[in-house]
Amino acid sequence: MASQKKLKILFVSAEVSPFAKTGGLADVAGSLPQALAVMGHDVRIAMPRYKFITHPTETRMDFPVLMGYRKETAIIREYYLDAFQGDVRKTVPVYFVDNYQYFDRDNLYCYYDECERFAFFCRAVIEMLPGLDFKPDIIHCNDWQTGPIPLLLKDIYGILPFYRDIASVFTVHNLHYQGNYPRECLGLLGLAEDYYNQDKLEFYGNVSYLKAGLLYADIINTVSKTYAREIQTPDYGEGMDGLLRSRAGDLYGIVNGIHYHEFNPATDPNIARNYDEKSIEGKRENKRAVQQAMKLPERDVPVIGLISRLVDQKGLDLVADSFAELMKYNIQIALLGSGDPYYEKFFTDMAQKYTDKTAAYIGFNARLAQQIYAGADIFLMPSRFEPCGLGQLISLRYGTIPVVRATGGLADTVTDYDENTGNGNGFVFHEYSSEAFMKTVLRAISIYNDRKDLWTRLVTSVMRMDFSWPASAAEYVKLYRAAIEKRLLHTTTVEGISRK
Ligand code: ADP
């Protein structure tokens, strides 16, 4: 059957774990392609080669990319990522797009010439394909850094036969980050001035890379069904809700999975003691280890973990407003995060004030993150909005019970625990208020303290849940096929050829 044909997929992302990561996008970009490869698809990844990526690569080619009136050299370096699930082993080629001027820098983002860096990246990704002799059926773009690709494919490169029927899917991992830049960046993308127009890329006086992806991709999706609904409303739409409503027929929600080999308490080399759902007492040693690592007294009290980018989205004002009250209880808080200087200072101050109850590590530390997931009892994610959220999925995998606000992917993956029936896998509140947050944290603490039997059963049951990739990866394949179908319809209509 034609629909059984294996697909050629190019997955494009500005961050991919294990090479470069600031948040959940990297986890998805590192693990979804592997799941697709295991299903038998020919999937390859493209990402920038940042300075700190030192994996051994093979140089495949270099070529000039026109950036306004200048030419910049793109060097394509290839690396092979092993993908495995059970006994199935596959290889996912990773194309690093290198340019010393744009990417040989200490950090991933937040530079003055961001629009230029990612205009270059998008164009280099498209232009490398004929030289690699790889013509994908689908280019899967992710977040604003890759937003121009669907547009460039259709309106610029699409005049060349090689590109004409390549379909695109654009995934929004976070609508808040939009890549909005002055109109001059149109020239860097090789686009004419008439793209500066409300019906095209203009967005409140800027050119929006995100809008390019939302408008021009054959299919768009986001990372949970609830967030897909939410972003069509003014409250969550970040100014794009009208556009998203106009594309509602092409907008889908697919919840993320997590990499079950990487995030596996039974084999995780980062934690003090490996354990699974049959040996959850192993969490106790991990609790002691995390207390030691974070210089908290080794006490048998509920340890509450918080691992997050420290930004408003994550509901940290609820945590801050409740902090003094929380500190009246016999608990410990282990926080790992970086971001907004206001929150970095707030949590550093709290750790200094409540030395025996709060520890804060300000920075990014993948190993410590695993230690907290394994050693904590409760995990906080009181987000204001949350496209999917991976923290709660990783914590569930490690038997650490999440306290979440019912929004986006948190609403789709965590259901409130019912002491009477034993149903549910976490503690959920709805209203965005510190009262609702505090009440829910206290409920979790009291069940932990007073109903050890129920708590043990809850930990065991959440560790048995399945949030691995295969089911969601199969949904993506359906989206790819729908996008290919749409693209084919479009290109054949353009040529006036009936498909029947
Ligand atoms: P977001 O993508 O909005 O940052 P997610 O919950 O989807 O949030 O994904 C966050 C990912 O980044 C998780 O894997 C989490 O463990 C990890 N993470 C966040 N902050 C840190 C940090 N400071 N150190 C290590 N890992 C972190």
pLDDT in tens, 342-379: 999 999 999 999 999 999 999 999 999 999 999 999 99
**Is 45:35 a contact under the CB 8 Å cutoff?**
no
Same fold, 2-257+470-494 and 282-463: yes
Distance between Cα 267 and ligand 1 center (Å)? 21
- Which pLDDT value is given to residue 490? 77
pLDDT digits (tens, 9 = 90+) for 444-468: 999 999 999 999 999 999 999 999 9
- Which pLDDT value is given to residue 406? 98
Best substitution site from 223, 259, 308 to test ligand 1's pocket, by max atoms within 8 Å of Cβ? 308
With a 6 A CB cut-off, is 449 part of the ligand 1 pocket? Answer: no
- Which pLDDT value is given to residue 499? 36
- For the chain, the structural domain boundaries read 2-257+470-494, 282-463
Tokens of 51: 């300075």
Residue ID of nearest Cα to ligand 1 atom 26: 366
Which homologous superfamily is 2-257+470-494 in? Glycogen Phosphorylase B; (3.40.50.2000)
Q: Among the atoms of ligand 1, which is closest to the Cα of residue 390?
A: 6
Best substitution site from 309, 335, 388 to test ligand 1's pocket, by max atoms within 8 Å of Cβ? 309
- Which pLDDT value is given to residue 118? 98
Q: Among the atoms of ligand 1, which is closest to the Cα of residue 366?
A: 25
**Is 471:213 a contact under the CB 8 Å cutoff?**
no
With a 6 A CB cut-off, is 37 part of the ligand 1 pocket? Answer: no
- Which pLDDT value is given to residue 151? 98
Distance between Cα 366 and ligand 1 center (Å)? 9
Distance between Cα 2 and ligand 1 center (Å)? 39
Best substitution site from 307, 392, 414 to test ligand 1's pocket, by max atoms within 8 Å of Cβ? 307
With a 6 A CB cut-off, is 336 part of the ligand 1 pocket? Answer: yes
Which of 201, 175, 173, 174 shows the shortest CA–CA distance to 188? 201
Which strands make up the sheet holding 206-208, listed edge to edge? 180-181, 206-208, 202-203
Which homologous superfamily is 282-463 in? Glycogen Phosphorylase B; (3.40.50.2000)
With a 6 A CB cut-off, is 309 part of the ligand 1 pocket? Answer: yes
Distance between Cα 391 and ligand 1 center (Å)? 6
With a 6 A CB cut-off, is 23 part of the ligand 1 pocket? Answer: yes
Distance between Cα 27 and ligand 1 center (Å)? 9
- Which pLDDT value is given to residue 84? 84
pLDDT tens for the 500 residues of the chain, in order: 445 799 999 999 999 999 999 989 999 999 999 999 999 999 999 999 999 999 999 999 999 999 988 999 999 999 999 998 878 899 999 999 999 999 999 999 999 999 999 999 999 999 999 999 999 999 999 999 999 999 999 999 999 999 999 999 999 999 999 999 999 999 999 999 999 999 999 999 999 999 999 999 999 999 999 999 999 999 999 999 999 999 999 999 999 999 988 899 999 999 999 999 999 999 999 999 999 999 999 999 999 999 999 999 999 999 999 999 999 999 999 999 999 999 999 999 999 999 999 999 999 999 999 999 999 999 999 999 999 999 999 999 999 999 999 999 999 999 999 999 999 999 999 999 999 999 999 999 999 999 999 999 999 999 999 999 999 999 999 999 999 999 998 776 444 443 33
Query: What pTM, to 2 d.p., does this model score?
Result: 0.94
- Which pLDDT value is given to residue 426? 98
